[in-house]
């Protein structure tokens, strides 16, 4: 609150008549964070532009999950430095996970940026920009146990006016051995349910038809009146009686408006409890889709990854989802070539895909991240060509499964929310069904934001194609 007061007092002094261009990479959390940044900057008079050549402030919101993601951003920053030749007043800032991980390296050694700001330092951006205007480089990468940006109404960037993200947690406590997120985003903490419901209500009042609740692990959401997350068993009796877990929060958001479709991502398998599944079952407006990363189909590798479950347990959880929600789609993350992975381990992953058919998966080969437990403890001993070959095999199996699952939808009717014009045909709409599968159909008399019943006539690996039958 002190920082916000300082900004308000100095609004005219700092950043009047400035234009900001924000470019986001990586997960949905980064895109949601960019909307928070745009809101903070608008409070000090900075206008957001979609044209980087019109901007005198450029922020790149970054991802550190894989090495090639970081290299792509480095190349982008080198390109942006050339813009300074045309605009001597241009300020370039790097935000997010890569900023947190590399800190001074980007600011001092490579001299690619003027500002480095971690995920918990966005309120400080106006102050950091003033430092740059005074002739200094500026950095704040302090991680917080409390920051959630709960009261900030995000500025919806490049919005279709139909779908929006709502961040409900920040950080992660899971400490998977391959993952850099706990080090770049800090400990897990939850927003108050009141602030989340209020944001959902505001979006409905503005005509939005769908919200996605976001977190590194949404299912571990827990609000007890405090900030940083605690183990439920360590709460006092009073805190327990007044606490809100993810199942309760999901139902609260579902009750905001029966016509508001509600999604959520991402779920850690250990935390997707039956209570959540039954909330999904009894609320028609909660989409029947769960993103449930497995990462591997081999129990030994899962243990080295510190995923806290076995292959058999994961299959049990998948089957439980299908038992309670037969029409629920499940998507997945898979990493091939993790430390010490053998051909038999890899075959277990291929077998998992067959045993637990996923509508779609995000598939990658392992990229060692400095500072993680895996980097400190294990040898990255799988050759890159083997990693890529195994990845190719995983992709081929997954594509065959997705084709089969999509083909089974032909002749069926799906409820689809129109999100945008099809990228391939200006006479067609693109939307998603409850199961988060893309559906393409003719525009006819339908409009952006309409819910349309679509009968599926044909399918591809990634999409369903049909025609609207809603009058």
Asked whether the beta carbons of 468 and 442 are under 8 A apart, the reply is yes
Dihedral angle over CA of 22, 26, 30, 31, nearest 10: 60
What band does 179 get if pLDDT is binned at 50, 70 and 90? very high
- Residue 335 scores a pLDDT above 70: yes
Give me the DSSP letters along 140-200: E----SS---TT-----TT--SSEEEEE-EES-----TT--HHHHH-S-EE--HHHHHHHH
What band does 9 get if pLDDT is binned at 50, 70 and 90? very low
Residue of 37, 71, 75 lying closest to 57 (CA atoms): 37
- For residue range 243-260, list pLDDT tens digits in order: 899 999 999 999 999 999
pLDDT score recorded for residue 21: 95
Asked whether the beta carbons of 225 and 189 are under 8 A apart, the reply is no
pLDDT score recorded for residue 12: 45
Phi, psi for 318 (deg, rounded to 5): -60, -45
Which of 90-99, 200-209, 379-388 is least confident? Answer: 90-99
- For residue range 291-334, list pLDDT tens digits in order: 999 999 999 999 999 999 999 999 999 999 999 999 999 999 99
- For residue range 104-132, list pLDDT tens digits in order: 787 776 678 999 999 999 999 999 999 99
314 forms beta bridges with none
Q: Which helix (H) or strand (E) holds 374?
A: helix 373-377
CATH superfamily of 2-140: Methylthiotransferase, N-terminal domain (3.40.50.12160)
- For residue range 342-383, list pLDDT tens digits in order: 999 999 999 999 999 999 999 999 999 998 999 999 999 999
pLDDT score recorded for residue 329: 98
Residue of 306, 273, 39 lying closest to 172 (CA atoms): 306
- DSSP letter at 279? H
Q: Where are the domains of the chain?
A: 2-140, 163-407, 413-468
pLDDT score recorded for residue 3: 36
Q: Which helix (H) or strand (E) holds 99?
A: helix 97-102
What band does 58 get if pLDDT is binned at 50, 70 and 90? very high
- DSSP letter at 305? T
What band does 13 get if pLDDT is binned at 50, 70 and 90? very low
Overall average pLDDT of the 259-284 stretch: 97
pLDDT score recorded for residue 300: 98
pLDDT score recorded for residue 307: 97
Asked whether the beta carbons of 416 and 463 are under 8 A apart, the reply is no
Overall average pLDDT of the 200-204 stretch: 98
Structure tokens at 202: 């505001």
- DSSP letter at 43? T
What band does 80 get if pLDDT is binned at 50, 70 and 90? confident
- For residue range 20-51, list pLDDT tens digits in order: 999 999 889 999 999 999 999 999 999 999 99
pLDDT score recorded for residue 138: 92
In this structure, the number of other CB atoms found within 10 A of the CB of residue 276 comes to: 25
Which of 140-154, 233-247, 314-328, 386-400 is least confident? Answer: 233-247
CA–CA gap between residue 369 and residue 65 (Å, rounded): 7
- Residue 1 scores a pLDDT above 50: no
CA–CA gap between residue 344 and residue 342 (Å, rounded): 5
Asked whether the beta carbons of 290 and 276 are under 8 A apart, the reply is no
pTM: 0.91
Q: What share of the chain has pLDDT > 70, as a percent?
A: 94
Overall average pLDDT of the 82-102 stretch: 85
Structure tokens at 372: 């993680």
> b vs e for 80-117, b when ≥16 Cβ sit within 10 Å of the residue's Cβ?
beebeeeeeebbbbbbbbbbbbbeeebbeeeebbbbbb
330 forms beta bridges with 290
CATH superfamily of 163-407: tm_1862 like domain (3.80.30.20)
Phi, psi for 190 (deg, rounded to 5): -115, 150
Q: To the nearest whole number, what is the mean pLDDT of the chain? A: 91
Phi, psi for 206 (deg, rounded to 5): -95, 5
Architecture of domain 413-468: Beta Barrel (2.40)
Overall average pLDDT of the 384-392 stretch: 98
- Residue 203 scores a pLDDT above 90: yes
Residue of 34, 48, 49, 19 lying closest to 94 (CA atoms): 34
CA–CA gap between residue 404 and residue 406 (Å, rounded): 5
């Amino acid at each position: 609150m002190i920082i916000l007061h300082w900004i308000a007092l100095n609004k005219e002094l700092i950043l009047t008549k400035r234009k900001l261009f924000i470019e986001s990479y990586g997960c949905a959390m980064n895109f949601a964070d960019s909307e928070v940044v745009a809101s903070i900057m608008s409070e000090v008079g900075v206008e957001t532009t979609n044209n980087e050549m019109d901007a005198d402030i450029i922020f790149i919101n970054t991802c550190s999950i894989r090495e090639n993601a970081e290299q792509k951003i480095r190349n982008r920053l080198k390109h942006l430095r050339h813009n300074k030749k045309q605009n001597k007043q241009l300020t370039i800032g790097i935000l997010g996970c890569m900023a947190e991980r590399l800190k001074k390296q980007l600011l001092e050694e490579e001299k690619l940026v003027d500002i480095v700001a971690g995920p918990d330092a966005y309120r400080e951006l106006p102050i950091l920009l003033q430092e740059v205007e005074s002739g200094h480089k500026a950095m704040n990468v302090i991680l917080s146990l409390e920051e959630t940006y709960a009261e900030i109404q995000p500025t919806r960037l490049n919005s279709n006016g139909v779908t929006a993200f709502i961040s409900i947690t920040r950080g992660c406590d899971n400490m998977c051995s391959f993952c850099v997120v706990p080090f770049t985003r800090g400990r897990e903490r939850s927003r108050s349910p009141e602030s989340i419901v209020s944001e959902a209500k505001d979006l409905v009042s503005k005509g939005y038809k769908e919200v996605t609740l976001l977190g590194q692990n949404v299912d571990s959401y827990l609000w007890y009146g405090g900030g940083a997350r605690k183990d439920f068993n360590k709460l006092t009796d009073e805190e327990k009686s007044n606490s809100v877990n993810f199942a309760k929060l999901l139902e609260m958001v579902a009750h905001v408006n029966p016509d508001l479709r509600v999604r959520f991502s991402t779920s850690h398998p250990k935390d997707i409890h039956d209570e959540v599944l039954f909330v999904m079952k009894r609320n028609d407006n909660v989409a029947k889709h769960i993103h449930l990363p497995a990462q591997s189909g081999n129990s030994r590798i899962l243990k080295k990854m510190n995923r806290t479950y076995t292959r058999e347990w994961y299959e049990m959880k998948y089957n439980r989802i299908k038992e309670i929600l037969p029409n629920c789609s499940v998507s997945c993350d898979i990493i091939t070539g993790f430390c010490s992975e053998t051909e038999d381990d890899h075959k277990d992953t291929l077998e998992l895909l067959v045993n637990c058919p996923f509508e779609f998966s995000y598939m990658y080969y392992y990229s060692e991240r400095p500072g993680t437990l895996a980097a400190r403890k294990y040898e990255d001993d799988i050759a890159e060509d083997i990693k890529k070959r195994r990845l190719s095999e995983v992709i081929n199996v997954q594509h065959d499964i997705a084709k089969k699952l999509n083909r089974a939808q032909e002749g069926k009717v799906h409820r689809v929310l129109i999100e945008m014009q099809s990228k391939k045909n200006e006479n067609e709409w693109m939307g998603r069904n409850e199961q988060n599968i893309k559906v393409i159909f003719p525009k006819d008399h339908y409009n952006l934001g309409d819910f349309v019943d679509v009968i599926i006539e044909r399918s591809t690996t990634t999409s369903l194609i049909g025609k609207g039958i809603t009058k």
